[in-house]
Amino acid sequence: MEFTDRRSPLPESPAARRNKGPILEVLKRVLPESGVVLEIASGTGEHVVHFADALPRLVFQPTEMDPVALEVLRIRSVRARLPNVAPPLVLDVREPTWPVTRADAVLCINLIHIAPWAATEGLLRGAAEVLPRGGPLVLYGPFFRSDAPTAPSNAAFDLSLRTRDPEWGVRRLEDVNAAAAVQGLELAERVEMPANNLVVVYRRG
């Protein structure tokens, strides 16, 4: 798919349109005042453009592994004309070597439930390698939790994901916490978000 006409509409995500405002309010508090934010699985690029516009002292590095998504990211960032959005990079979190060797923060929105568990492990391992001590890894999405009842919408979503791919599914927060601890990432906080989602913040110990 090509977007050769500069006026042609780009793909949009209804979920991104709904959640980018609430997520930004959390990011204003948990991200550093300046530095590089590595965004994993940037998708349509709506998040990165919105955040970069609101946080001009941070440089956002979007990434994707899908060629079509990369092209959408590139064009959306060009159209936005934001100097603090870097050209998108190809990044598969499962690869042992990432194209970015250092970032002051890592951001990942709505990935780990639509990818195999190996992607979660790769994300945590890679984030621990690129973050400085105290640097945040910020995750957003649905989670199952042992200390809270499962929302019917999350249970239905999990079933639909596993029907599409048995390796997908809403993750247990305790499992993600345990895998993060193996990589030296400490749970710093979790924030209740609309539509039964969470922002979970880890920091490199």
List of domains in the chain: 14-204 (3.40.50.150)
pLDDT at 181 over 50: yes
Which segment of 4-8, 12-16, 151-155, 159-163 scores lowest on mean pLDDT? Answer: 4-8
pLDDT at 179 over 50: yes
Q: How confident is the model at residue 6 (pLDDT cuts 50, 70, 90)?
A: low
The whole-number average pLDDT for the span 173-191 is 98
What pLDDT score was predicted for residue 7? Answer: 62
What pLDDT score was predicted for residue 14? Answer: 86
The whole-number average pLDDT for the span 140-165 is 95
The DSSP annotation for 2-69 comes to ---STTSPPP--HHHHHHHHHHHHHHHHHS-SSEEEEEES-TTSHHHHHHHHH-TTEEEEEEESSHHH
The whole-number average pLDDT for the span 110-115 is 97
